[in-house]
Structure 1
Amino acid sequence: MSIPRLPIAYHVFKRPLAYHRTLQLQDKIVELRLNAKKEDPTSELARRDVVLLLEHRPTFTTGRRDSLPTSLARIDLEKDRLAHAGADWAVTRRGGQVTYHGPGQVVGYLFFDLSGLNLSTRCYVDRVQKTLSSFVDSSLDLSATPNGNKGNKVYAPHPDGHVGIFPTYQTKISSIGIQIRRYLTSHGFALNITPTPLPWFNLITACGLPSISAVSLSSFPPPPALPSAQTEPYSTLPSPSERTFDAVTRRLIPLLGEKFGGGEVVELMGVGEGGKEELGGGEVGRLVRELEDESAREEKDAGGSLWREEPRGDKRLGEGVVEEGRIS
């Protein structure tokens, strides 16, 4: 007998988080769900998929493709160079190469059970990509762009086969990197919203693509307005002033619910334990609250922001490790 799936539980973090702490959080959530699936597959923890939406403090991350022995010396030098810019550095087990995460970008960590979704790894990546492309397509007007696409549609994937969301042949707005353990996913996607991340991206060859530059939703005009009857709640960002983290997450949540949860989503803190916010979300909710409380204490102790709005300017930032004529 098949076990019915539950609505996706989502949570939006209130402030930018340290990347290394979210790595620990992801590992703990996956471990909790793996144990729950083994001990009681009918439990809520085993059955409830989770979406966490957040911003990071400025961080450069690298994935499995940059952990090969031939890459380690180059990556060590890059770490020192980029740390001088004012960003953290993290080595992850997701797929992909060096990229950037920071304020002005929405990061989505997706904890899905692919066996419940009946998806292979390739089909899962394809669905994430199509979900993001439909959101970006409806959020931008590419018709006036010199290198715009036929039909005013983004490339997803890129014509050369690169995974991600590309408004034009030479620009990228969203990256995807995943990890899967025994059918349970972690990591997910990053979508640039404001211009804030772009100077940081200029310090690297993001995802190993030297001919492609980073852009954000704010780099393009919004699409022409449509009658409300022709739109979905998530489908448009009517004006540049609404291209904010809060506005984008509000529109992404129902879209993710539609594409991965049968249309249903619930706030994480409202599930389990009688719906009491201080107790809700079960073990996952407890971990999320601990991280939010820790981040708030760090910010209070620091007397304000814990990160730089822009990278530190210095000639050293132009002295990266050059490989095949580019900083990698």
Structure 2
Amino acid sequence: MTNKIIFEDWKTLEYAEAWKKQEVIFNKQITRKQNEEPTENNLIFVEHPHVYTLGKHGDRTNMLISDEMLEKINATYYHIDRGGDVTYHGPGQIVGYPIFDLENLGVSYKGFIEKIENGIINYLKEAHGLDTFQLPKATGVWLESKRGHEKVCAIGTRASKYVTMHGFALNINTNLEYFDYINPCGFTDKGVTTLAKVKGAKQDFEKEKSILKGFLAEAFEADLV
């Protein structure tokens, strides 16, 4: 492996603060590219308190609750500049922010999304024996249940000058009740699940983070530093 990915775990952090920290790293890489200096690839893991985010071109009507109800369930809401529609982040969910220079890694934007999906699919297969898959026109990682297609990982990103921002949200021990207040990713005919629900037991969150980062590095043929 010749590529390098700098890994950081921000532990638990409010969404707004994490967004600002992302932008600092993102802007630094953009400046480096403009100055023809070497860039870095950063992978950040974080866990957010209850928050809903709506993508740049998402439909606000997919948020099914009022501002008053948001306050009641102790959640916040942000309309942000990534792709995709509305999603939820909260405790027990691994949120990953890959701030990568795709030219540095030699991958297209479409290839970048596919590599994230494949890394997570391989992690769920090798670490947990689960058969998950990609769906056409439905970004993310899915599995089949008696209830139909259920998403275990959502993905929503953006890129400028081939530098990426935002990322994925993998449900480990996530409270699924919070998805009842939205049409997740704009879908009304598909469900959401968690690793804990599929496995029938709460998972060791820190252990899962440690395993997952290795599969993501492997997907990009990179070493974690």
TM-score, scaled to structure 1:
0.62
- The 5 A counterparts of 1:149-188 are 153-156=131-134, 158=135, 161-168=137-144, 169-188=148-167
- The 5 A counterparts of 1:154-303 are 154-156=132-134, 158=135, 161-168=137-144, 169-194=148-173, 196-221=174-199, 240=201, 243-260=203-220, 262-266=221-225
The match for 1:97 is 85
Q: Is the 8 A contact 1:177 1:189 kept in 2?
A: yes
Separation of aligned partners in 1, 2:123 and 2:63: 36
Aligned residues: 221
Question: Quick one: structure 1 residues 76 and 204, their matched pair in 2 at CA, closer, same or farther if it must change by over 3 Å?
Answer: closer
> 5+ unaligned residues in a row in structure 1: which ranges?
143-152, 223-239, 267-328
Separation of aligned partners in 2, 1:176 and 1:22: 17
Separation of aligned partners in 2, 1:117 and 1:6: 7
The match for 2:122 is 134
Percent same amino acid at aligned positions?
28
AA of the residue aligned to 1:56: H
Q: Which has the higher strand share?
A: 2
Separation of aligned partners in 1, 2:63 and 2:142: 29
Separation of aligned partners in 2, 1:53 and 1:32: 19
Separation of aligned partners in 2, 1:201 and 1:255: 27
Q: Is the 8 A contact 1:113 1:185 kept in 2?
A: yes
The match for 1:284 is none
Separation of aligned partners in 2, 1:161 and 1:106: 23
Q: Which has the higher helix share?
A: 1
CA RMSD, Structure 1 to Structure 2 (Å): 2.3
Give the deviation of 1:171 after TM superposition.
1.2
Separation of aligned partners in 2, 1:204 and 1:119: 33
AA of the residue aligned to 1:174: C
Give the deviation of 1:210 after TM superposition.
1.3
Is 1:57 the counterpart of 2:54? The answer is no
Q: Is the 8 A contact 2:65 2:181 kept in 1?
A: no
Q: Is the 8 A contact 1:201 1:214 kept in 2?
A: yes
* Cα deviation 1:18-61 (Å, max 9, x = unaligned): 1111111111111111112222513xxx2x21100010010011
AA of the residue aligned to 2:176: L
Q: Which has the larger radius of gyration?
A: 1
Give the deviation of 1:79 after TM superposition.
5.2
Q: Is the 8 A contact 1:79 1:89 kept in 2?
A: no
The match for 2:18 is 22
Is 1:9 the counterpart of 2:9? The answer is no
* Cα deviation 1:267-286 (Å, max 9, x = unaligned): xxxxxxxxxxxxxxxxxxxx
Separation of aligned partners in 1, 2:175 and 2:115: 25
The match for 2:98 is 110
Q: What secondary structure sits across from 1:8 in the alignment?
A: strand
Separation of aligned partners in 1, 2:80 and 2:126: 32
Q: Is the 8 A contact 2:119 2:218 kept in 1?
A: no
TM-score, scaled to structure 2:
0.89
Is 1:82 the counterpart of 2:70? The answer is yes
Give the deviation of 1:252 after TM superposition.
1.4
Q: Is the 8 A contact 1:141 1:220 kept in 2?
A: no
AA of the residue aligned to 1:213: G
* Cα deviation 1:80-126 (Å, max 9, x = unaligned): 14343210111111111111001100000001111122222112111
